[in-house]
Amino acid sequence: MPRVVVDVVPKPEILDPQGQAIVRALPRLGVRGVRDVRQGKHFELDVDDDVDADTLHRIAGELLANPVIEDWTVRRL
Amino acid sequence: MSTVRIGVITFPGTLDDIDAARAVRYAGAEPVSLWHADDDLRGVDAVIVPGGFSYGDYLRAGAIAAHQPVLRAVRGAASRGLPVLGICNGFQILCEAGLLPGALVRNAGLHFVCRDQRLRVETSATAWTGRYAAGAEIVVPLKSIEGRYVADSATLAMLEGDGRVVFRYLGVNPNGAVNDIAGIASADGRVVGLMPHPEHAIEVLTGPSSDGLDVFRSAVDAVLGSGGQLLGRRIPSKMW
């Protein structure tokens, strides 16, 4: 059964306070050099062979992501 | 005069349906319980989508509720002019359902905010604010972590230009909402969403004020046809 990955991240113009909190926490790990973090969501879908690309983009754009605030990518593994 | 019937929707995880129903009673109307799986609205005259954590805020606040059968019915009825009010999670649901533009995202400060919030009522030209004078200042509770209203610049310009910003935060902006926006309306002024909770401010025994009660009285007026002019229904200027 094919596996499909959908990744969802906040649009660049949307303030991501959770990502910023992660950036601020990194120096406490002794890590330097990370300028920005955007926190998103990762979905793994097991789908039947006949689920086409249009349907996958519908799933992503109408439910998994909110197009007002988020961008998404769909990948077949 | 028949009693105005106002539906109050309950989803799994809804918290404020009881207070919303109580506010409806205080406004002189009859609350009608609606269930998330209902696909009709039992002939109600208006609908409230109350606050809480529908479906545990899974995926995004309001995202799952927006696709339930009762919301399909609300969407159809709203297109025919049914007054709809979304409070807090209900506002998030109406945005996710496409009944109101924009979205609600995590508070800029990342903290859950729970406070008595000053607001300015920007317009009386909606089904839910006819009882207020434009510019009136009210105090009602705010309690949310996904309360920061965002929209793209074209949508914001449209909302501001068309007088569709209904409530604005006063004093402090508690969550980083653009233009201090606490609540907005649909183009026809029938659908309103706001993050603060007018249903928790209907009498001073249990709330910080009774300032919120007129939201529900306004809907009764709108149903009975005694409210004022609504957005998008302004009387056109006379042709000479």
Mean pLDDT estimate for chain B: 94
Please check the confidence at residue B210 and state whether its pLDDT lies above 70.
yes
Q: Which chain B residues touch A66 with a CB distance below 8 Å?
A: 60, 63, 96, 103
Q: How far is B66 from chain A (nearest CA, A)?
A: 10
Per DSSP, A61 falls in state I
Per the CB < 8 A criterion, the answer to whether B30 and B24 are in contact is yes
Candidate from B96, B105, B110 with C-beta closest to A14: B105
Residue labelled with tokens 């007129």: B214
Spatial CB neighbours of B234, under 8 Å, sequence gap ≥ 6: B125
The complex scores an ipTM of 0.87
Q: Which DSSP helix (H) or strand (E) runs through B194? A: strand B191-194
> Average pLDDT for residues B175-195, to the nearest whole number?
98
Picking from B145-149, B213-217, B229-233, which range would have the lowest pLDDT averaged per residue? Answer: B229-233
Tell me if B67 and A63 make a contact (CB, 8 A cut-off). yes
Tell me if B152 and A21 make a contact (CB, 8 A cut-off). no
pLDDT in tens, B29-79: 999 999 999 999 999 999 999 999 999 999 999 999 999 999 999 999 999
pLDDT classification of A1: cutoffs 50, 70, 90: confident
Q: Which DSSP helix (H) or strand (E) runs through A59? A: helix A53-59
Tell me if A17 and B108 make a contact (CB, 8 A cut-off). yes
pLDDT classification of A55: cutoffs 50, 70, 90: very high
Q: How far is A47 from chain B (nearest CA, A)?
A: 19
d(CA B191, CA B157): 19
Please check the confidence at residue A60 and state whether its pLDDT lies above 80.
yes
pLDDT greater at residue B201 or residue B230: B201
Residue B1's pLDDT is 57
Please check the confidence at residue B240 and state whether its pLDDT lies above 70.
no
pLDDT classification of A6: cutoffs 50, 70, 90: very high
Per DSSP bridges, beta strands B30-35 and B165-169 are unpaired
**Residues of B that are catalytic:** 88, 197, 199
pLDDT classification of B14: cutoffs 50, 70, 90: very high
Residue B2's pLDDT is 77
d(CA A45, CA A77): 10
Residue B235's pLDDT is 41
Residue B233's pLDDT is 53
Q: How far is B110 from chain A (nearest CA, A)?
A: 7
Q: Which DSSP helix (H) or strand (E) runs through B96? A: helix B89-96
> Average pLDDT for residues B127-145, to the nearest whole number?
98
